[in-house]
């Protein structure tokens, strides 16, 4: 189930480190052809492809075992066991629940708690901006600004509120925008109409929500472009997503922070509004007229 979560301990790092998958996405253009084949295989079945034996991973990628080991070394690991240890730690972090974190303890009360959370949030916002490649963000802006596209938003138990927030803004700025509930019983009759001109913007953070993942996989099979807003560990939706915008979410709490995701949403709304201003302005004016009449 999509849930709010925590850092690995009760303290806040200035933002969770980039996941290995995220690092690979950022460094992809610098890889050799064989390294790119290994990278694509790992990302398409992340992190499980990397937990196979060297021979199995090499066979999947169609390269030699020594090429796999050179790829692992290129990523900064001392060897394949070190690489797999990192992947297992990431997988454990993905699956942690709020109860898996130490109890609140005797941390400061009142203003000091507020200040600590504010510091953590500011760190997350900065880390989120540093993590997202400008070209990736601009590509998403271009998609959401294309009037030929039908934009759908979806999310999980907690992130669904962010998806609805985004949908409410974009509905004012442009046409053909809606929200799809994550439960299969509510999206099966909607997804049959989704195709190549559709964009599905999904919100999913650890612990990832199976029904939202299934919706995205179904939409991708039908040709839709999937955009994923997630955490540094990357929802399994990343396997089918054309664009991934990760936010840093760790906080000095048993719950994850959504501030980084909200930052991305509001930045997208602002950028798309500017790009569509000639058509967005009349829509916004029409909404204001109706509001005044009401």
Tell me: the pLDDT tens digits for 268-279? Answer: 999 999 999 999
Beta bridge partners of 154: 202
What CA–CA distance (Å, rounded) separates 224 from 191?
10
Q: Work out the percent of the chain whose per-residue pLDDT is above 90.
A: 54
* Helical packing angle, 277-293 and 259-275, nearest 10°: 100
Q: Which of 162, 159, 143, 137 is nearest to 212 (CA)?
A: 159
pLDDT at 104: 54
- pTM more than 0.85: no
pLDDT at 4: 42
pLDDT at 207: 81
**Is the Cβ–Cβ distance between 173 and 273 less than 8 Å?**
yes
Quickly state the pLDDT bin for 8 (edges 50, 70, 90).
Answer: very low
| The most confident of 5-19, 85-99, 127-141, 167-181, by mean pLDDT | 167-181
* Helical packing angle, 65-74 and 80-95, nearest 10°: 60
Tell me: the pLDDT tens digits for 42-64? Answer: 886 788 889 999 999 998 888 99
Give mean pLDDT, residues 232-252.
87
Tell me: the pLDDT tens digits for 69-118? Answer: 999 999 999 999 999 999 988 887 776 665 555 555 544 455 588 898 99
Q: Work out the percent of the chain whose per-residue pLDDT is above 70.
A: 87
Quickly state the pLDDT bin for 200 (edges 50, 70, 90).
Answer: very high
Give mean pLDDT, residues 4-16.
38
pLDDT at 135: 86
Query: 260 preceded by cis ω (within 30°)?
Result: no
Tell me: the pLDDT tens digits for 138-168? Answer: 999 999 999 999 999 999 999 999 999 999 9
């Amino acid at each position: 189930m999509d849930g709010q979560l925590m850092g690995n301990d009760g303290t806040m790092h200035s933002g969770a480190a980039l996941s290995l998958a995220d690092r690979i996405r950022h460094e992809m253009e610098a890889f050799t052809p064989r390294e790119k084949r290994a990278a694509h295989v790992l990302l398409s079945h992340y992190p499980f492809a990397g937990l196979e034996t060297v021979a199995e991973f090499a066979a999947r990628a169609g390269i030699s075992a020594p090429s796999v080991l050179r790829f692992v070394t290129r990523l900064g690991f001392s060897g394949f066991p070190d690489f797999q240890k990192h992947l297992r730690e990431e997988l454990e972090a993905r699956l942690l629940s709020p109860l898996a974190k130490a109890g609140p303890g005797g941390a400061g009360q009142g203003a000091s708690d507020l200040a600590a959370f504010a510091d953590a949030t500011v760190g997350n916002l900065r880390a989120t901006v540093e993590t997202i490649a400008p070209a990736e963000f601009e590509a998403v802006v271009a998609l959401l600004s294309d009037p030929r596209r039908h934009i759908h938003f979806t999310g999980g138990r907690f992130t669904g509120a962010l998806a609805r927030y985004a949908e409410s803004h974009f509905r004012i700025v442009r046409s053909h925008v809606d929200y799809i509930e994550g439960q299969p019983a509510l999206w099966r009759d909607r997804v049959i109409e989704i195709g190549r001109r559709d964009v599905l913007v999904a919100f999913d953070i650890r612990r990832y929500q199976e029904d939202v993942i299934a919706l995205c996989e179904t939409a991708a099979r039908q040709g839709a472009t999937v955009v994923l807003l997630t955490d540094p560990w990357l929802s399994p939706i990343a396997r089918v997503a054309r664009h991934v915008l990760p936010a840093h979410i760790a906080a000095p709490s048993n719950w994850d922070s959504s501030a980084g995701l909200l930052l991305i949403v509001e930045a997208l709304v602002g950028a798309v509004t500017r790009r569509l201003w000639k058509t967005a302005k009349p829509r916004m004016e029409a909404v204001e007229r109706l509001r005044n009449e009401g």
